[in-house]
Structure 1
């Protein structure tokens, strides 16, 4: 189509995981659906790791020998995603997690019935299940540990698998997909109901009317420097994890239509530290001090480092720890310093004299006794560090393809705050009332997260509440 006007029951803006899930469920509910995307379908979801945070007793968990239930899952996530997660959304998400897993399986997404036992941002295997911090302190005191990272059956990054199957299902359901179409405005009728969108496609203006509802699923705002500076300054100067199009446009559209925002300062932060090395050694800040148990979910030690501790940040290991990690699981990092003494390491890194010696001496005493008295790292990772020592500088980043050291801060992230929505995806105004005809899901919204993050909760949240938003929009009274 070039120019003119078209209509559908439901319009979905953005076709990543949230938009695809909304479009699919709306179509299955009997609505006619047009899905608009400014680029090609997939978005940031397609270039993601592909983990889905699911639990409560999925078939995959049972196949790997783990018992779980929604209450244990909720207890872990409430703490890990806090402070202040959205308790109502989180409760629904945990209670519906087994059904949600089954829904993914019904799309033809396969999960290998095996567990990756290591600690990693992204396992280099096709194992279907992985730990995401559930077996580390303090969470072992809060909930019964069970691995809940569900991974599509492929080595490494699997977001493309997820999106391939989702988009295939969307097409099969009869959704009219319009790529290369940028929505510029939301339209409202005389009663204030969102009734459609105005868009641009190859230089032509197009008006799309929505007889039942519009669903925004355009992603976050990490690629918009001005919005980051205003709302999430912790990400200023750092790399962005996205497809390059998380520019906050959907949030601005929703606010212009009367919607409100929530948790705009919430972010995911990833520090370029190899978890398998960190848990076998010590992670220190720019003062040579430990600050957390290194076996936690790596996003947790990243948040603690970047938000609360002076940089730069270093992983200190010895030769045994280094050799204990298979080369392919080191993510291409190389030591910035190798030395016989910790005093030499301090001098090379510019750390305060004696700081690293004191830190490692205390760690070694605890390791010899089998108890990390400061931060409670699991005893299985405790072992005194001995000469020679190596220090890995997080600022150098990862180098998995061997192309050379990366420049930058060694920090990357994305935003988690956005439009305030109900559990059914209704965009809410400043008084908590729904904006008629307008729905949203995914990172364009403030979902289940508080100030914390765990891998797989973005894809999980986006698809789960995208489904609910699509069904809710399809069930609205049809406006001629």
Structure 2
């Protein structure tokens, strides 16, 4: 008896007939899937896209829309910044953490300007203006933003240049990006089948992937893919069993997904002997407003600073969860993370950009604030004293925050508990939780053309992957825009490679 959730591949010999036939089958219709479908169709292949949801978009459509691009794009030049593929690659190799894929980063950086023009040619608009302050998502339609390139330690490793390219939309631009990419896929004849869940892969006697068994409205469908199957099914943050196996520190936190990142594509490929990489790696978004944090301090449960607050905010989250929280549990106050700021710093961030955040505690003295937050006696008093000494001197010897954001904190002081949550303007409802919002970075091991590799490092014939189903560029670090960036870039590669298979 075959279990309903089994991913054991189906032998082509067991398939009596195929309900649908195509050249290239793309499983998942986010940014990576749309890019793969476009290039496969452009190369002359008949393309079918299936998605378990009722329409295209997935997590890509819900995202901020930032795409990490550089090397000298027209937007960078218009905003007065020089950049090169070498400087871009140097930054990414450091920022994307231990285990980052150097070969993919080099390829991605070298092709970044071309990829920018490809996106523009697909109708994605970028405005040649700059947002010049720490933020998750600018409230404007500015086309360029910093993503930590101008913060320590990266200022020591590569020439700083902003590379966060944003589609021309106020706030979140993922929906606009997906509208452009889905139109592009349809323009080359790609067809779609929604409400369709890929369950298992179909393989020939020689081990090549030749199709997929899917379910639609309770009925089984067999789909033949004459040239290849491309998995763009997302990560596995929505699968608690997989998290428990690979990344238990992510359990219990807010999930950043469209609710469909169940790891199904990864599991299907693993059943054929596919290799995976960095399955415990994750992005961690802390519930803080970067503009407020940069103007103050972020402290841990010991009342101590642990990172430069002007850095890319995802680095603050990763450091908080993976380094400060040694026990891996956010169950109690021993894992508290606080943003400490004074009235001037708080008010300096315009109210709409605070996303509804209010101080959890307010006090006239560090000692009183320390008591209200239940931080260890003397800890916050000492931390604020040392911070103010550094700010007065204009040099942060402890964590190297840029002098631009260094200013002595003066009464009254506020403490903001990250567990109170933040809510972007486009969302509603209570966002209280652990203070962390997470998604997975690990996935299938692929080569530069999106071939899924087996445990011996050889390509599995007929099988490709891109987007968060693959590990992509990432080691154990993350920068906004690198998911949409590598998903679209290597999705294109996978589409072209699949179309050429015969």
Structural mapping, 1:238-249, within 5 Å: 238-249=253-264
Alpha carbons of structure 1 residues 437 and 290: separation in structure 2 relative to 1, 3 Å: same
Alignment correspondent of 1:88: 103
1:441 paired with 2:456, answer no
Moved more, 393-402 or 28-37: 393-402
Partners of 2:389 and 2:278 in 1: CA distance = 42
| 1:275–1:298 CA contact under 8 A, matched in 2 | yes
Q: Is 1:330 the equivalent of 2:354?
A: yes
Given candidates 323, 332, 340, the residue that maps to 1:308 is 323
CA drift at 1:258: 2.4
TM-superposed CA distance for 1:203, in Å, is 2.1
Residue 257 of structure 1 deviates from its aligned partner by: 2.1
| Range 302-311 or range 105-114, more displaced | 302-311
Show the counterpart of 2:119: 104
Is it true that 1:392 corresponds to 2:416 in the alignment? yes
Q: Distance in 2 between matches of 1:222 and 1:403?
A: 22
SS in 2 for 1:438: strand
**Matching residue within 466, 472, 488 for 1:463:** 488
| Equivalent of residue 13 in structure 1, options 20, 27, 34 | 27
Which residue number in structure 2 is paired with residue 275 of structure 1? Answer: 290
Q: Following TM superposition, by how much is the alpha carbon of 1:14 offset from its aligned partner in structure 2, in angstroms?
A: 0.6
Asked if residue 257 in structure 1 is aligned to residue 272 in structure 2, the reply is yes
Q: Mind listing any 5+ residue stretches in structure 2 that lack a counterpart?
A: 1-16, 326-334
Q: 1:149 deviation in Å?
A: 0.2
Partner of 1:363: 387
Contact kept? 1:6, 1:209, Cα under 8 Å = yes
Measure the CA separation in 1 of the matches of 2:428 and 2:462: 49
CA distance in 2, matches of 1:404, 1:203: 33
Aligned with residue 236 of structure 2, among 210, 221, 229 = 221
Please tell me whether the aligned partners of residues 4 and 205 of structure 1 are also in contact (alpha carbons under 8 angstroms).
no
In 2, Cα distance between the equivalents of 1:18 and 1:403? 28
The reply to whether residue 414 of structure 1 matches residue 439 of structure 2 is yes
Match of 1:288 among 290, 303, 310: 303
Q: Secondary structure at the match of 1:253?
A: helix
Aligned residue for 2:472, secondary structure, equals coil
Structure 2 equivalent of residue 35 of structure 1: 49
Q: TM-score, normalised by structure 1?
A: 0.97
CA distance in 2, matches of 1:173, 1:403: 37
Check if 1:71 corresponds to 2:96: no
TM-align CA RMSD: 1.2
CA distance in 1, matches of 2:116, 2:429: 39
Structure 1 unaligned regions, length at least 5: none
Distance (Å, rounded) in 2 between the aligned partners of 1:363 and 1:157:
34
CA separation in 2, counterparts of 1:22 and 1:69? 27
SS of 2:411's equivalent?
coil
- Could you list the structure 1 runs, at least 4 aligned residues long, displaced by more than 2 angstroms after superposition: 399-407
1:48 and 2:63 aligned: yes
Distance 1:288 1:6 in 2: 61
Relative to structure 1, the CA distance from residue 400 to residue 38 in structure 2 (aligned partners, 3 Å threshold; closer, same or farther) is closer
Pairing 1:169-208 to 2, within 5 Å after superposition: 169-208=184-223
Q: Take 2:99 and 2:52, find their aligned partners in 1: how far apart are those partners?
A: 33
User: Does the 8 A contact of 2:18 with 2:224 survive in 1?
Assistant: no
Shift of 1:4: 5.8
Moved more, 3-12 or 263-272: 3-12
The 2-side partners of 1:174 and 1:153 are apart by 27
Question: How many residues align structurally?
Answer: 475
Q: 1:179 deviation in Å?
A: 0.8
2:141 maps to which of 122, 126, 130: 126
* Residue 400 (structure 1) shift: 4.4
Measure, in 1, the Cα distance between the counterparts of 2:423 and 2:478: 24
Deviation string 1:267-317 (CA, Å, 9 cap, x unpaired) is 000000111011111110011000111000000111111111142101111
Rounded Cα–Cα distance in structure 1 between residues aligned with 2:435 and 2:364? 26
Tell me how far 1:147 sits from its aligned partner. 0.3
Contact 1:86 1:450 in 2 (8 A): yes
